[in-house]
Amino acid sequence: MPQTVIQYLLNRLKQLGIRDIFGVPGDYAFPINNAICDDKELRWIGCCNELNAAYAADGYARINGMSALSTTYGVGELSALCGIAGSYAEHNLVFHIVGMPKMQAQERHAIVHHTLGDGEFDTFMTMATPVVCAKAMLTPENCIQEVERVIAAALEYHRPAYIAIPHNYVHENIVPSTASANLPVKSNHEALEEVVSAIVNKLSNAKKACIMPGILVDRFGLKDLTTAVVTASGLPYVTMALDKSVLDETNPSYLGLYIGQLANPEISEFVESCDCILAIGSILSDTNMGGFTAKLDKSHIINIIPYDVHIGYADYTNLKMSDVLEELAKRLHKRTDVRGPAAKSPTTPDVDADDPITADYLYASYAKFFKPDDVIIVDSGTSFYGLLPIFLPKGARFHSQTLWGAIGWATPSSFGAALAAPNRRVILITGEGAHQMTAQEVSHFYRYGLKPIIFVLNNHGYLIERMLSKKIDYYYNDLTQWQYHKLPEVLGCDGWMMIKATTCGDLDKIMAELDNTKTGAYVEIVTPEMSAPPLMEAIHKNL
Quick one: which of 104, 197, 481, 542 contacts its own copies (CB under 8 A)? 481
For CA atoms 455, 493, 412, 369, give the dihedral sign: positive
Secondary structure class of 365 (helix, strand, coil) = helix
> Closest CB to its own copies among 112 and 200?
112
Which among 35, 37, 38 has a CA at the least distance from the CA of 169? 35
Among residue numbers 62 through 101, which ones bind its own copies (CB under 8 A)?
74-75, 78-79, 81-82, 85-86, 88-89
**Rounded to whole angstroms, how far apart are CA atoms 390 and 64?**
25
Minimal distance in Å, beta carbon 129 to its own copies?
8
Count of residues interacting with its own copies (CB under 8 A): 81
Residue 269-308 contact track with its own copies, rule CB under 8 A, x = bound: --------------xxxxx----x----------------
Residue 19-58 contact track with its own copies, rule CB under 8 A, x = bound: -----xxxx--x--xx-xx------x-x-xxxx-------
Residue 388-407 contact track with its own copies, rule CB under 8 A, x = bound: --------------xxxxxx
478 counts as binding its own copies under rule CB under 8 A: yes
Amino acid letter, residue 239: T
259 counts as binding its own copies under rule CB under 8 A: no
Which among 340, 361, 342 has a CA at the least distance from the CA of 350? 361
CA angle 121, 126, 129 (to 5 degrees): 145
462 counts as binding its own copies under rule CB under 8 A: yes
> Closest CB to its own copies among 34 and 142?
34
Quick one: which of 41, 183, 336, 476 contacts its own copies (CB under 8 A)? 476
Q: Which stretch binds its own copies (CB under 8 A): 176-184, 388-396, 483-491, 528-536?
A: 483-491
Quick one: which of 4, 477, 527, 531 contacts its own copies (CB under 8 A)? 477
Among residue numbers 161 through 180, which ones bind its own copies (CB under 8 A)?
none
Secondary structure class of 523 (helix, strand, coil) = strand
Burial 394-420 (b: 16+ CB within 10 A, else e): eebbbbbbbbbbbbbbbbbbbbbbbbb
- Distance from the Cα of residue 477 to its chain's centroid: 26
Quick one: which of 340, 408, 520, 533 contacts its own copies (CB under 8 A)? 408
Minimal distance in Å, beta carbon 90 to its own copies?
8
Minimal distance in Å, beta carbon 450 to its own copies?
13
Q: Which stretch binds its own copies (CB under 8 A): 230-238, 316-324, 480-488, 525-533?
A: 480-488
Helices (H), 408-448: 410-420, 432-438, 442-447
438 counts as binding its own copies under rule CB under 8 A: yes
Among residue numbers 105 through 164, which ones bind its own copies (CB under 8 A)?
110-117, 123, 126-127, 130-131
**Rounded to whole angstroms, how far apart are CA atoms 333 and 540?**
42
> Closest CB to its own copies among 169 and 361?
169
Decide if 489 contacts 498 (C-beta within 8 A): yes
Helices (H), 448-527: 463-468, 487-490, 504-514
198 counts as binding its own copies under rule CB under 8 A: no
Minimal distance in Å, beta carbon 188 to its own copies?
23
Decide if 278 contacts 210 (C-beta within 8 A): yes
β-pairing verdict for 375-378 and 397-399: parallel
Minimal distance in Å, beta carbon 337 to its own copies?
33
Query: CA separation (Å) from 408 to 117, 366, 435?
Result: 32, 21, 5
Minimal distance in Å, beta carbon 525 to its own copies?
17
Minimal distance in Å, beta carbon 443 to its own copies?
4
Per DSSP, 439 falls in state G
Among residue numbers 314 through 353, which ones bind its own copies (CB under 8 A)?
none
Amino acid letter, residue 72: T
